[in-house]
Amino acid sequence: MYGYEITQKVKIITQGELLLKEGALYPALHKLEAEGLLQTTTEVVDNRVRKYYALSEDGDKEVVNKLQEAKDFITQLQLLLNLKPNFS
Amino acid sequence: MRLTELQTVEVSKYVAAATQYRETYHEIYDHVMNEMADLALPYDIELVGKIVRQHFGSFKEIKKHEHRYLTRTKYSYFKLLALEITGLFRITNIAYTILVLVLGGLAHQFATKNAYSLTSVYLWLMGFSFVLVSVWLFNNRYILFNLREKLTMKGEIIGWLLLFPFSLAPMLFTVFLAEHNLFGLSIQVKNLITISFFLLVISYARSFIILYRKRLKVF
């Protein structure tokens, strides 16, 4: 996927609730690329160079870890939110 | 909206002014063109400026980001290069490493036997390699003298990695190899230092070639 495509995809999936500002998106993409978690290819589309991002092998493994981290965090958050103050 | 050829050139010039490197230029230009195509508004260069400012920040912020991107990528490749160099001690590369060490040993033995100083060989080889590397960089358009063309991050990283050993060479010469060197070293010791340096440079160059062929990609 290329940068603009990612922003549009996020917009569609979240029904416009989450707007990815590219000022935050591209630095994040470049950081992940430098860390070797993303691999890139380029193609010429409509006379301009387009850069595509895809998960690298290391990136695939990292996604599993990060998803687990996120799930654990949400579980902890739910536990905290379900706490009822005891006044007795 | 559909842009005319003149409008496309105007957008391109605007993005070119905002960016320092070709890679970021292509990415921002593609993004702006996609956004413009999706907008149902009449063309205005102010609109282009608004999109760039909104999504990428000011010109200053874009250049700051480019600098961060370049530094990060540069060091990640330097790390990969260091990994390739340490890979020379892996069992799979042992034959090559032994061969290089034997050649180094033979050169040292020859120089010692004939009381020959390798300092002049060092100077000639370093000078020749520097010219060769510069020509290669220029030939592959990693060094540009054309002010109208944008530099590439890839070119800057490759140049930095390739010229790094040459930045050490003058210091090595002044401190250890010059006639009036800092420690008053004998010819034998100087030859040993020269050969060790060459062995390191050869390993560095070999690792660079492997990295360049396999992984060095900055788009």
The ipTM value here is: 0.80
Question: Which residues in chain A are closer than 8 Å to B29, comparing Cβ atoms?
Answer: 48
Question: Which residues in chain B are closer than 8 Å to A51, comparing Cβ atoms?
Answer: 23, 26-27, 30, 219
Min distance B152 CA to chain A CA atoms (Å): 14
Smallest Cα–Cα separation from B191: which of B124, B125, B105? Answer: B105
Distance CA B177, CA B192 (A): 10
Segment B40-82, tens digit of pLDDT: 888 888 999 998 888 888 889 999 999 998 998 888 888 888 8
pLDDT of residue B34: 93
Distance CA B38, CA B66 (A): 27
Asked if B124 and B118 touch (Cβ cutoff 8 Å), the reply is no
Residues contacting residue B188 through CB under 8 Å, at least 6 positions apart: B112
Residues contacting residue B142 through CB under 8 Å, at least 6 positions apart: B152, B154, B155, B156, B158, B159
Q: Name the residue of chain B whose CA is nearest to A6's CA.
A: B31
Distance CA A11, CA A9 (A): 5
Question: Which residues in chain A are closer than 8 Å to B15, comparing Cβ atoms?
Answer: none
Residues B38, B29, B27, CA angle at the centre, nearest 5°?
110
What's the pTM value of the predicted model, to 2 decimals? 0.76
Q: Say yes or no: A26 contacts chain B, CB-CB below 8 A.
A: yes
Please name the member of B34, B65, B219 whose beta carbon is closest to the beta carbon of A4: B34
Q: What is the mean pLDDT of chain B?
A: 85
Using the predicted structure, report yes or no on whether residue B215 has a pLDDT greater than 70: no
CA B202: distance to chain centroid?
Answer: 17
pLDDT of residue B33: 93
Highest mean pLDDT range out of A20-24, B188-192, B213-217?
A: B188-192
Using the predicted structure, report yes or no on whether residue B218 has a pLDDT greater than 60: no
> For A43, which DSSP code?
E
Q: Name the residue of chain B whose CA is nearest to A21's CA.
A: B55
Pairing relationship of beta strands A48-55 and A38-45 according to DSSP bridges: antiparallel
pLDDT of residue A85: 62
Residues contacting residue B197 through CB under 8 Å, at least 6 positions apart: B122, B172
